[in-house]
A and B are shown apart, each in its own frame.
Chain A
Amino acid sequence: MGAAQKITQAFLDKEFVNAFIQSVINTHRITANIQINSGKASILPKSEKNGEVTGFLGIVSNNSRWVLSISYAKESITEIYGTMFSEKKESIDNDVADLVGEITNQIYGGAKSMLNQRGYAFEMAMPTVITGDFRTHHHGSGVTLNVPFCISNKAYNIWIDITASSDEKKN
């Protein structure tokens, strides 16, 4: 089986996908006191541009390179910030970007703990936050798992992407 197939198989593994979905929901419920709901997960050939602010984490594990991103529409992250700190934000400033970085860190930490018990070898990583318009690209045999989320029953405006590309050619 090729590495790209192995990655796709990980994305088809319900427990792998659920570790990230559960960690996204737990982090928002506990840290932000906000209930968010997940939509249908899809496997895409490449990462799509989603919200206006995105936290990224690059990880190396089991001969694969993974990028976890969580992306927020402005209205969703400013609502979360307002709920947490009782302060209304009109734009995505440094405080909001900092919040996205911390949430990304917590989501990864939660999923990592669950997955490492199942034989993965995810290690510590530091998030990066990007605001504004961007598009991500990956090389070689990569695929992306995309899961949308929404606050209460509003339209989906939070997304996680887990993009994986293999190091197979180097082996």
Chain B
Amino acid sequence: MFPANTKFLVVDDYSTMRKIVKKILVDLGYSRIEEAEDGKPALEKINAAVAANDPFQCLISDWNMPGMSGLELLRAVRANPATKTLPVILATAEGDQANVIEAAKAGVSDYVVKPFTPLTMAEKMKKAFIRHSKAA
């Protein structure tokens, strides 16, 4: 599982969902959690954190957002050599098989369909961590 000092970025256009994910992370013992309300400000935060030599170590993002979508954000992260190995979990209400395949092709670390329980999110995080640890 991600170590206790892992730095997270939670991205969702709904503050409700950001609060839910943040609460799950806090209950799991994490405290370095930042938020963004769309893909574009999220990408700015990710790049700024890299420039400050304090990069995010896990990104949990919604898919369906009005500005830059979670999928576009994922593609931008994977396209940048500085962030291409960042674990990215997409949390979305879009559970269709086609969406899962599209996210997998774009290099998602794991995928959680809303509504989800804290246990489900914790399991997805664990899988994403193992996958990235093996790749490193």
Contact = CB atoms under 8 A, between A and B. Distances in A.
Do A and B belong to a common assembly? yes
Interface of A: 26-27, 29-31, 84-85, 95, 98-99, 101-102, 105-106, 108-110, 112-113, 116, 124, 126
Contacts of B95: 109-110, 113
B111 to A, nearest CB: 13
A113 B15 contact: no
Given A31-B115, A95-B15, A98-B15, A106 B20 contact: no
A27 B92 CA distance: 13
B33 interface: no
Given A98-B16, A102-B16, A106-B115, 19 more contacts: A26-B115, A29-B115, A30-B116, A31-B114, A102-B14, A102-B17, A105-B14, A105-B64, A108-B93, A109-B92, A109-B113, A110-B115, A112-B94, A113-B94, A113-B95, A113-B96, A124-B94, A126-B64, A126-B66
A30 B115 contact: yes
B84 to A, nearest CB: 26
Interface residues of B, number: 18
A68 to B, nearest CB: 13
A90 B62 CA distance: 29
Instruction: Name the prevailing secondary structure of the B interface residues.
Output: loop
A113 B95 CA distance: 6
A86 to B, nearest CB: 10
Interface in B8-44: 14-17, 19-20
Contact of A110 (B20, B66, B93): B93
A51 B14 CA distance: 21
Contacts of B114: 31, 105-106, 109
B115 A112 contact: no
B133 interface: no
B93 A106 contact: yes
A129 to B, nearest CB: 10
